[in-house]
Structure 1
């Protein structure tokens, strides 16, 4: 996104006011090689505008008094897209993220540029990870779940940064306003990666086979 260099205006293409400040539609190139194209009012960004960052990523939206407000679209250098709600230039509110093929890979909330509250991470095979992220925006806690591609079978339990430490087989009963409701399967034991998941350290795509036929201990 932004470069580490101090952002200093280097060149302005467009109209200047009597004080030599950008006014109207202008292109401003900074010493970091970041570039902004959009509308200015006496040196401040106001109206539609788009940043072109040095790494190839972009950020587009509506600016008020020099800060991005409302819906903004950040496009990564690889073509992935994050659509979110900005308040005073920071992500605050609902957001969705898509990969380079346009598939949804994240849906949730942001607070001060960090993922917040209940979030969903979607995988290409149809599975997903859901739960309330910690203060660092990570899927860490004791009420996180991996939902298999059938969108019903789940492993619910303790995760650290998206990796399951232990969980129980559960069923996703409903989702209301983005919040999932699970029901634990009665009588099932704790499942730990490396013991009952095909001997894998990661989550397997064959939950029933794995639960009924535990793999070797690692």
Structure 2
């Protein structure tokens, strides 16, 4: 795809995207955050309250009977009666230098600590691993987390970037959500709560700015990133334009409704207009796709990109009601056309688009349900944590798609139980004609089979 010259806003968004990408580097692929000379991080320069929360599990008293006291630095390996292992450098009976701690019976959910010690206390960069296999990397002073910090989930995915003081997050922090979005704002008592909190979409330009409570959207309006401030400890602070337009609210689908009110007890009836409007389009999705007559013979509507997009670009979201299992009718595809996996309730959950909502004039908050099938897909379904609709499927590209081209995914039906049109399409596909087995095609092209879907 030919690279075009970026606008000023796009350049700012690109800078944020590159920064987050660097934040994801852990060294597992050979690239560490330390490799980037433009990233200035470290411990906070303010004094530490030694009574603050600490991850340390061993006091000096716990180790005094096991350590050899020498005035020169020496490597020692200590195994306690319960199996806990401490290995590293010691001076005068105190940990001094790089040390590792392995804990058999987790204390404070901590199973391992690896980092630099000075006179018995963590000082400098260290990693703390937890019982749930999540972990953090941060800067410590006298045993207290006090500086730049990153957190990762059990799969090594970045979940948090920010600064800590006295064991608590402070200032503007980032919470990285599944699918590529981020919650950004000044934390209060360690939580993303209050006004002027933002959810930034994966383009690092489009945002919902407003009121959040413990990281959950209460009400917000659309805005765009206008500039960036380099905060303390290396944390990027996005500056937004004035929020405008209708309010967006947290709206999670249920068995009988495609959208329901979230935490809105204090929201007035007049301010619910945006929430009750099922044609209020997602601000990000409206910049990526549009609905037009499909190019597939016999199909109705389809999704088309409104700009050139590269691989790994999120295009559209699949919100809907949660299908009631008691109403499932496997004998007819007409009642199952829009059913798809519910990633918030794997493996039993199903998301559906009710009959009344299948026309875009009735419902267009999200439009991924209008995407058609191809055995040569240019996109696929993955999981996305949406600020309004929670954990739902989304469409992400797997190839370059040029402005005006239609978007396709591979549905991945069970071939024997699929509708007639799907079986005919497989027989006419280049893969079937070349003798490729359907199973092999599935393994190469469909990450998440839909199971229950049909062309629109």
Q: TM-score category by the smaller chain? A: 0.7 to 0.9
Q: What is the aligned counterpart of 2:208 among 155, 169, 179?
A: 155
Superposed, which structure 2 residues align to 1:1-218 within 5 Å? 8-9=62-63, 12=66, 16-17=68-69, 24-30=74-80, 34-53=84-103, 54-55=105-106, 57-134=111-188, 136-177=189-230, 178-186=236-244, 188-194=245-251, 199=259, 201=262, 207-208=282-283, 213=364
1:28-62 Cα distance to aligned partner (Å, 9 max, x none): 34577543211111211111111212327211111
Contact 2:56–2:143 under 8 Å retained in 1:
no
Which structure's relative contact order is higher, taking Cα pairs within 8 Å and 6+ residues apart? 2
TM-score, normalized by length of structure 1?
Answer: 0.78
Give, in whole Å, the separation in 2 of the partners of 1:84 and 1:5.
21
Give, in whole Å, the separation in 2 of the partners of 1:105 and 1:120.
8
Post-superposition offset of 1:2: 5.7
Contact 2:60–2:120 under 8 Å retained in 1:
no
The residue matched to 1:100 in structure 2 has which SS? coil
Post-superposition offset of 1:166: 1.3
Q: 1:6 to 1:66 in 2, by over 3 A?
A: closer
Post-superposition offset of 1:167: 1.1
Give, in whole Å, the separation in 1 of the partners of 2:248 and 2:111.
41
Give, in whole Å, the separation in 2 of the partners of 1:119 and 1:145.
11
Where does structure 2 lack aligned partners over 5 or more consecutive residues? 1-54, 231-235, 253-257, 264-280, 286-318, 320-362, 367-456
Give, in whole Å, the separation in 1 of the partners of 2:196 and 2:187.
10
Give, in whole Å, the separation in 1 of the partners of 2:87 and 2:62.
15
Where does structure 1 lack aligned partners over 5 or more consecutive residues? none
Task: Judging by fraction of residues, say which structure has more helix.
Answer: 2
Give, in whole Å, the separation in 1 of the partners of 2:81 and 2:185.
41
Structure with larger Rg: 2
Q: 1:92 to 1:17 in 2, by over 3 A?
A: closer
1:58-117 Cα distance to aligned partner (Å, 9 max, x none): 111111111111111112334433111111111111111222333221111011111111
Alpha-carbon RMSD: 3.4
Post-superposition offset of 1:214: 6.0
Give, in whole Å, the separation in 1 of the partners of 2:69 and 2:143.
25
Aligned residues: 203
TM-score, normalized by length of structure 2?
Answer: 0.40
